[in-house]
Amino acid sequence: MKPRGVAPMRAIRKLAAAAPLLFFAGVVLFGGAGCAGFLAPADNEIRESLERVRRAKLARAVDMIDEVTTADWRFVSGERTLDRAAYRAWLSEQLARFPVESIATKITRIEVRGRFAEVSLRQTLVRTETDPVGVPVRWCLVSVENQEWVKTANGWRITRTQQWPQERTRLQK
């Protein structure tokens, strides 16, 4: 006859042994959702800032750019380099002309070295543009950005953004 409580103890030991694997599977499957407490404070602050930028673009609140960039921030895309004021004007015009349906930001790398950080991300944006004959067309634009960040007295701020050429895919209605 088995002593009472042995079988439940085995199950508890097996579960305890599998806990690290279950945690890892959760991080892989859910992209770390709910695991923000396990990230370094710099990672958290940078991720939160990028989420604020995403929401601000959807709300067409372009002045929010000032909250996450340094005064000397530069946006580089192809042959064009814009300072903060020029970028705000350009972004405001873009958001007014082309209604944005959705923006998804996937951070692919955050590398922190002291007061400095490098961030790589992939952003997918769905918007509507009007073709030359006046017909609305939905587009999916995918861009890759590399950003340089610095820790300031007011938190982490972007000092430079390099955007690589966008992939554009015409979507069906």
- What is d(CA 82, CA 14) in angstroms, rounded to the nearest whole number? 57
Residues 33 and 48 in one domain: no
Q: What pLDDT shows up at residue 12? A: 56
Same domain, 18 and 49: no
Residues forming beta bridges with residue 104, ordered by sequence position: 124
Q: What is the dihedral of CA 136, 142, 146, 152, to 10 degrees?
A: 50
Q: What is the pLDDT of residue 36?
A: 43
State the pTM of this model: 0.74
Radius of gyration of the chain (CA): 22
Helix, coil or strand: residue 67: helix
Q: Cα(168)–Cα(122) distance, rounded to whole angstroms?
A: 14
Nearest CA among 172, 170, 119 for reference residue 142: 170
Q: Which of 173, 52, 49, 33 is nearest to 101 (CA)?
A: 173
Indicate if 31 and 103 belong to the same structural domain. Answer: no
Q: CA 150, CA 45: separation in Å to the nearest integer? A: 12
pLDDT for position 171: 95
Residues 1 and 52 occupy one common structural domain: no
Residue appearing with tokens 């991300």: 121
| Side-chain-side CA neighbours of residue 143 (13 Å) | 17
Kindly state whether residues 112 and 64 are assigned to the same domain. Answer: yes
Q: Are residues 15 and 88 in the same domain?
A: no
Tens digit of each residue's pLDDT, the chain (173 residues): 555 655 655 655 655 565 555 444 444 434 444 444 455 899 999 999 999 999 999 999 999 999 999 999 999 999 999 999 999 999 999 999 998 999 999 999 999 999 999 999 999 999 999 999 999 999 999 999 999 999 999 999 999 999 999 999 999 87
Task: Determine the structural domain holding residue 30 and report its residue range.
Answer: 1-38
Is the domain of 99 the same as that of 158?
A: yes
Residues 50 and 73 in one domain: yes
The structural domain count of the chain equals 2
Q: What's the CATH code of the domain at 65?
A: 3.10.450.50
